[in-house]
Structure 1
Amino acid sequence: MEENQLKEITIRQYGLLSPLDWGEDCEEELLRMNQLWNRLAEIEQVTREKYNTSIMTDQDVESIYQQIASSSDFQSSLIKERRSIRKQNGRKVETHNLDEQIRDLSHKIADLRNTAASSRKLAREKAGKRIRALEVERRAAVKLARQESGLWWGNYNAIVKAYERGRRIALRNGGQLQFKRYDGTGRIVNQIQGGMTVADLFGATHSQIAVDALPGDAWTHPSRGERRRLQRTRLTATIFVRSGERRTVTWPMIMHRPIPEDCLIKEVVVTRRKLGPSWQWQVTFTCTRSGSKQNRHTSTRRVVAVDLGWRRLPEGIRVATVVRNDDTPADFMIVPADIVDGFALIKTLQSRRDTMKNNIIAWLKTLDWAAAPEALTIHLPALQDATFISAGRVASLAIAWRNHQDWDAEGYRHLEKWRLADKRLWLWEVNQREKLIARRTDLYRRLSYNIVVNTDVVVINHLEIEKMSRLLLPEGKENPLFKAARHYRTVAAPSYLRKWIEIQARKIGATVVTQDMENWVCHACGAITMPARPYDLQQTCAHCGITCDRDMNTCRVMLKSFNR
């Protein structure tokens, strides 16, 4: 590839205040986008059912899956029996016979699934014509849904693109697309055909997007407060075009950093999402810049091994250990203790809200609703029959009660007092989570850059987050992870760190490689020995006697394996 053909993607994201001229017609555009997504999800569901029917009607496949179902049902009955015995006699009661049967069934089911995979592959080859016809039918249905959506082309293109991307991921991981309930969250997409220069953006020469020009010293003024004032501007974006009429909306915007002048703006996305009881708006500019990446990254022959995970330490959570193939000391990526404590506070707030909600529901059930107005009694079925009721549903009863205080004024005051207290805790919880996630994201962005800078290859251990998240393993055993470990996994979110490593590596042209690691391999002698205390951080090899940090040992094993 020639040097002048290389492109660099630049993204700028800015906060927006509430729009000045948003209307019901704009709301309807977001609703139609949600309806298009659900229609596409429905098309995918129907297509998947037809595909599965084509495959499962094969006699060999059908026979194997009947055996899997029979073995799984028998295993489930054994697990229930074991659980019942332990419940009656305590967890320490011996159940060796049941354990062995469950383990044997797990091996049998695993073998059957491997056989089923081969059988499905043969069945796909036999049903090749039907599968190709299904794909043609799916694409035609997607095209028709897009045409009938009533959406502007920029918005329906964004939905279809997200659908195709989600569909590929679902097929690869064995999942399926989910329907989405419309809660007002959405995005407006302006694709700029041919791109738009920064001068055009500020000059209001483009029909789709415009930003009011800022003073020249908006980013250079010596006073921070004055810079913040000068960075206030307004964004005007197209929401849709119908019958030749363009509908635009204007938002006050804080442009806290400039867009490089040599950028070509290709896409502008305005996003709205729910944050507690209010809306949060932001705009994202996706741009390209011409130039060579050769000056940014030259071969250093340096390989970095990253052991992802989570380990609670006094100073926080160690989320990654980094070892390089040179004399550089090992790095430990730590989520600080104050972030960990912040997530613990969220759990505390949730617990307090649950307790308050349960108490108020119990109190509501004691009231005599015989003479209550109909506007209030319509809420009773949910209160009396539902296995779970949200705090928002109870709050809606309090709001409806405002107009009927003459029925039971004292009861209304009691419920309203609960609603205000719950809302205060809810806002505290929502904002606490938002700030912590933002801090963690910024931390991972910076740590990831430090990992990949001046690096050719990044080797990462394969971390099966999905498997670790399960409460019950496929072989019928309970997940060995403690409850606290599961909580720290959600706090550390190692998969997000991996995502940022991949993003930063892609920026500089480094390669990311994933390695499956065998447990308890010694980096010095290669022996595999199960330690007596597997949860200890410092481990001693029983074969050669070397003592090493467990995570550093994993990184060194990955480096050795990669260099072979």
Structure 2
Amino acid sequence: MARIDEFKRFVIRQYGLLEPLNWDQDCAEHLYLKNKFWNTLVEIERDHRTAYRIVIDADEAVAEMNLKIQDIKDYIFAQDEQRKEARKQHRSKKGSHTKAFDEKMKELKGQVRELSPQAKELRQKVRDQAKEALGQLEQQRKEAVKKAYQDSGLWWSNYNDVIDRYNTARVRAMKTGTELKFHRFDGSGGFRCQIQGGMTVEELLSGRYNIAQIRMVDQGCFAELRGGLERKSKQSYGSRNYKRGYGVLSITVYTDKDEGGKHRRRMLDFAIILHRPLPVEATLKELRVVRKRIGTDFRWDVTFTFTEKAAPIVHTHPEKFCGIKLGWKAVKGGLRVATIFDGESKPSHIVMPQVIVDKLIYVEGLRARIDTMTNENYEWLLKQVNEEAPKSLAEVFESLKRAKHPHPAKFAKMVGTWSNFEGYLPDVFEKADLRQKMCRRLSLEHQNLRDKMLRRREDFYRCRAKEITEEFGVIVLDKMDLRWMATREKANGEPTELHPKARHTRNLAAISVLREWIVKQSAKTGAQINTLNIASSTICHKCGSKVKAGSGIVRSCLSCGTSWDKDENAAINLWRAISQVANLK
């Protein structure tokens, strides 16, 4: 029996993997089956939603209300399409040419907002009356899911992985009013090994169980596994890399029977570098190996999930408070993403280095170049290919014509099909192939650099969050609706106040990632996270007067005549609010 002062906590360890040593087509097939199983579940969910709506819409009042709302939404869509055409003709997003459409859409959206609560109330009444019918639909859905995983051909741990993700996504979709989406298989995926009853680290390293094991090797053997020389793996004594562990991770991909009916287990082996030790006293509950496509290559990693008994975490500085205002502003040396105030010194800032900002902007530029090049390729190709093309080539060409949005993959498919007809316009084909290769080179550069910079930005936030949560025992954040910041229009149809340049900077800052890491690191250090919904940016910290909202980072208080940085002002107000609560206690 665990002591009262003990509790179980999760410990996560993630390591990079080299390419698998014994990969074959059967492993790729298993990833494909997982993707296929997910798409089957999505189809089941959509059929269930359709049947659910039929039951609800059978009520005349609900059907009439839904029809009324849908007619208004269709009218809004028609107005939006006309507004887009007007913008194209005038080559301007706002102006007298869009004013009539804006006002009409604002009026229509207001009507939808007024009708939505009534529709919700009517649907709730029908749900209460049709509980039995809806219960039968839910039972049919569960039976369909059960049959789907029985027919999936997946190993039990892997179909549990898909089922868990499906259940999580289903709940989220119902809350947000969205639908589950089908996934296109591009070779990415993962293998999950659930350890029933758990496994100690000693058992993992000794190979006691077949489901997963790690065989430790020396540096020379590891160098042979990765196809290099032993001297490449040697590190000087005392260096950080000298403390690394090297091994071979073996996991179960699936089990089946051979031709003789005998059970067999398919194991997949990876060279693994343990850059940090495994938690010796912890119990392994599951591990997940992920294969992610980056350009034309794949990156592998493994995540171990452990549980261990530990005393409750007590922060080393529980008496230290700080207020943090998340926000973005371009400053000298980088991008300011957070302002911190602790009551003892002047407000400090977290500034993302300029090198990360520049690379992220360069990545966006690559994306724009790819889009421009793709549009030019489409326009050029439509002028070159005539109606006398071979049948299969003409079919691909027609699909290009019908495409609403040009895509590099569709152009590449056209060129690939064209390569089978050497005699058809060879000079034009040579130019098309050259255009496709240039676009492909840009796409590969974009995909690889984007992945690299996103991980670099996240690592920067992880380190800064660790420093903050170790220094302060109580952290207060402003309650921000980041989803609202991402929208371009308000509920009434009016555009948001966020300037396009500020919106672009917001995408570079990705302050939601920083906030997420502050929460994660606080769980490790024992820091307490509080969120306050106060007007922190519009209340003067000097005199307490309310300041009229406006654009710009510097605001002035008309009551006391003080000017201040609005993020610094917000951080001070947040710190003051949590300090007052602490003093009352």
TM-score by length of 1: 0.87
**Other-structure match for 1:283:** 302
One-letter amino acid of the structure 2 residue matched with residue 447 of structure 1? R
**Other-structure match for 1:484:** 501
Distance 1:332 1:61, change over 3 A: farther
Distance 1:171 1:461, change over 3 A: farther
**Other-structure match for 1:541:** 557
CA contact (8 A) 2:339 2:350 kept: yes
How far 1:174 sits from its partner (Å)?
Answer: 2.7
**Other-structure match for 2:159:** 156
One-letter amino acid of the structure 2 residue matched with residue 171 of structure 1? M
| Residue of structure 2 aligned with 1:196, choices 174, 196, 199 | 199
Structure 1 distance, partners of 2:17, 2:98, is 61
| Contiguous gaps of at least 5 residues in structure 1 | none
Instruction: Tell me if 1:233 matches 2:247.
Output: yes
Instruction: Tell me if 1:169 matches 2:172.
Output: yes
SS at match of 1:552: helix
Structure 2 distance, partners of 1:389, 1:508, is 49
| Residue of structure 2 aligned with 1:441, choices 458, 465, 475 | 458
SS at match of 2:168: helix
CA contact (8 A) 2:340 2:347 kept: yes
How far 1:435 sits from its partner (Å)?
Answer: 1.2
**Other-structure match for 2:46:** 45
Instruction: Tell me if 1:30 matches 2:69.
Output: no
CA contact (8 A) 1:307 1:554 kept: yes
Structure 2 distance, partners of 1:107, 1:415, is 50
**Other-structure match for 1:312:** 330
Distance 1:530 1:118, change over 3 A: farther
CA contact (8 A) 1:210 1:235 kept: yes
Note the 1:280-359 alignment, pairs <5 A. 280-294=299-313, 296-297=314-315, 300-324=318-342, 326-359=343-376
One-letter amino acid of the structure 2 residue matched with residue 419 of structure 1? Q
CA contact (8 A) 1:219 1:231 kept: no
Note the 1:37-116 alignment, pairs <5 A. 37-58=38-59, 61-62=62-63, 64-66=65-67, 68-69=69-70, 72=73, 91=94, 93=96, 106-116=109-119
Single out whichever of 85-94 and 232-241 deviates more from structure 2. 85-94
One-letter amino acid of the structure 1 residue matched with residue 268 of structure 2? V
Structure 2 distance, partners of 1:79, 1:355, is 25
CA contact (8 A) 1:79 1:476 kept: no
CA deviation digits over 1:127-160, x for unaligned, max 9?
Answer: 4444444434333332232222221111011111
Distance 1:121 1:306, change over 3 A: farther
**Other-structure match for 1:505:** 522
Instruction: Tell me if 1:269 matches 2:288.
Output: yes
Structure 2 distance, partners of 1:136, 1:558, is 49
CA deviation digits over 1:23-64, x for unaligned, max 9?
Answer: 222222112211221222222223333434444445555555
How far 1:113 sits from its partner (Å)?
Answer: 2.8
One-letter amino acid of the structure 1 residue matched with residue 337 of structure 2? V
CA contact (8 A) 2:397 2:414 kept: no
Distance 1:97 1:205, change over 3 A: closer
Instruction: Tell me if 1:248 matches 2:267.
Output: yes
| Residue of structure 2 aligned with 1:258, choices 277, 301, 319 | 277
One-letter amino acid of the structure 1 residue matched with residue 289 of structure 2? V
SS at match of 1:242: strand
Structure 1 distance, partners of 2:241, 2:36, is 45
Single out whichever of 169-178 and 181-190 deviates more from structure 2. 169-178
Structure 2 distance, partners of 1:160, 1:393, is 32
Distance 1:99 1:413, change over 3 A: closer
Distance 1:480 1:27, change over 3 A: same
One-letter amino acid of the structure 1 residue matched with residue 308 of structure 2? R
CA contact (8 A) 1:211 1:236 kept: yes
SS at match of 2:448: helix
CA contact (8 A) 2:217 2:248 kept: no
Structure 2 distance, partners of 1:345, 1:537, is 26
CA deviation digits over 1:396-428, x for unaligned, max 9?
Answer: 344445555455443343233323322322222
How far 1:376 sits from its partner (Å)?
Answer: 4.2
Structure 2 distance, partners of 1:330, 1:455, is 14
Structure 2 distance, partners of 1:196, 1:61, is 54
Distance 1:97 1:48, change over 3 A: closer
Structure 1 distance, partners of 2:247, 2:76, is 64
How far 1:438 sits from its partner (Å)?
Answer: 0.8
One-letter amino acid of the structure 2 residue matched with residue 465 of structure 1? L
Instruction: Tell me if 1:424 matches 2:441.
Output: yes
Distance 1:367 1:63, change over 3 A: closer
Structure 1 distance, partners of 2:502, 2:116, is 30
SS at match of 1:289: strand
Structure 2 distance, partners of 1:300, 1:39, is 50
Distance 1:234 1:381, change over 3 A: same
CA contact (8 A) 1:203 1:213 kept: no
SS at match of 1:212: strand
**Other-structure match for 2:14:** 13
Note the 1:369-518 alignment, pairs <5 A. 369=386, 376-402=393-419, 404-405=421-422, 407-518=424-535
Structure 1 distance, partners of 2:80, 2:547, is 31
SS at match of 1:222: coil
How far 1:347 sits from its partner (Å)?
Answer: 2.2
Note the 1:110-149 alignment, pairs <5 A. 110-149=113-152
Single out whichever of 57-66 and 414-423 deviates more from structure 2. 57-66
Instruction: Tell me if 1:211 matches 2:214.
Output: yes
| Contiguous gaps of at least 5 residues in structure 2 | 221-232, 258-262
SS at match of 2:216: coil
Note the 1:358-373 alignment, pairs <5 A. 358-367=375-384, 369=386
CA contact (8 A) 2:318 2:527 kept: no
CA contact (8 A) 1:7 1:290 kept: yes
Structure 2 distance, partners of 1:94, 1:408, is 46
CA contact (8 A) 2:44 2:145 kept: yes
**Other-structure match for 1:222:** 237
SS at match of 1:421: helix
CA contact (8 A) 1:14 1:282 kept: yes
**Aligned-pair identity (%):** 30
Distance 1:154 1:402, change over 3 A: same
SS at match of 2:341: strand
One-letter amino acid of the structure 2 residue matched with residue 44 of structure 1? E
Structure 2 distance, partners of 1:379, 1:2, is 69
Single out whichever of 404-413 and 191-200 deviates more from structure 2. 404-413
Structure 2 distance, partners of 1:506, 1:317, is 27
One-letter amino acid of the structure 2 residue matched with residue 317 of structure 1? L
Distance 1:197 1:543, change over 3 A: same
CA contact (8 A) 1:311 1:318 kept: yes
One-letter amino acid of the structure 1 residue matched with residue 248 of structure 2? R
How far 1:207 sits from its partner (Å)?
Answer: 0.6
How far 1:374 sits from its partner (Å)?
Answer: 5.4
Q: How many residues align?
A: 559
CA contact (8 A) 1:322 1:451 kept: no
Structure 1 distance, partners of 2:219, 2:422, is 58
